[in-house]
Amino acid sequence: MKLKPLLLTTLAFLACAALNAQDKMVPFKTQLPKPKLAGTPVAIKVPNLETAADIAARPPVMIPEGSTNLALNKPVTSSDSMPVIGMLEQITDGDKDSDEGCFVELGDGKQWVQLDLGAEHKIHAIALWHFHSQERAYHDVVVQISNDADFLTGVTTVFNNDHDNSIGLGAGKDKAYVDTSKGRVLPVAGVSGRYVRLYSKGNTANSANHYIETEVWGK
């Protein structure tokens, strides 16, 4: 008699595994803002900057068919609780335009923003737009996922271009990149977590940190 609950549990697990295995993977797509460059260009001098060939060689980011933006209108907290410009909720409001009033500016130096998805989800892609009305690269971009709101345990790093460990999270091998209206789409490969935290430490135009929008895609 005790075998029946075990059998039912096993069958349920196998059915769930089979369902997950049947997920059709499709190329990531999202609505992009209109390109708009303004102001005087500033020289982009940063070690380990990706080249046009690097960009062309990026494989397409694949996500399960039917995935949605889990971060849309979700709460955002930050190491800078009083942004210089904008409000933290703009980072997940769906607006990716580069106009004045559409971005959030945090203070100088090392800063982070953190998205609360409300529950644990299996994440397959993260797309972020720092600032794209001027060509610039952001320093020490690190993206992590965890179920711990304090990011002390169970932390998975999915992107790290801090080549010299200047923000103390470990040296990363990912390359720095120039922000554009296409954003930067990061493959995540099904990492599970409730919280997503994104770090930066100024940029090649100034020492401030900016965010326009962040999307987290999964099912």
Give the number of other Cβ atoms within 10 Å of residue 197's Cβ.
22
Backbone angles phi, psi at 56, to 5 degrees: -65, -30
- Whole-number pLDDT of residue 9: 53
pLDDT digits (tens, 9 = 90+) for 89-109: 999 999 999 888 789 999 999
Asked if residue 6 is part of any domain, the answer here is no
- Residue 5, SS3 per DSSP: helix
**Does 15 map to a domain?**
no
What is the 8-class DSSP label of residue 54? H
The per-residue b/e assignment along 84-102, b for 16 or more CB within 10 angstroms, e otherwise, is eebebebbbeeebbbeeeb
Which CATH number do you get for residue 208?
2.60.120.260
The answer as to whether 64 is a domain residue is yes
On whether residue 147 sits in a domain, the answer given is yes
**16 pLDDT more than 70:** no
Q: How many domains does the chain have?
A: 1
The answer to the question of residue 11 being in a domain is no
The answer to the question of residue 186 being in a domain is yes
Maximum pairwise Cα distance, the chain: 77
Residue 132 forms part of a structural domain: yes
Quote the domain boundaries for residue 162: 25-218
Its pTM stands at 0.88
Q: pLDDT tens across 104-144, in order?
A: 999 999 999 999 999 999 999 999 999 999 999 999 999 99
63 half-sphere exposure, CB direction, 13 A CA radius: 25
Q: What is the pLDDT of residue 4?
A: 55
The answer to whether position 29 is within a domain reads yes
Q: pLDDT tens digit string along 24-61?
A: 999 999 999 999 887 777 889 898 999 999 999 999 99
Burial-class residue 170 by CB neighbours within 10 Å (0-12, 13-18, 19+).
Answer: exposed
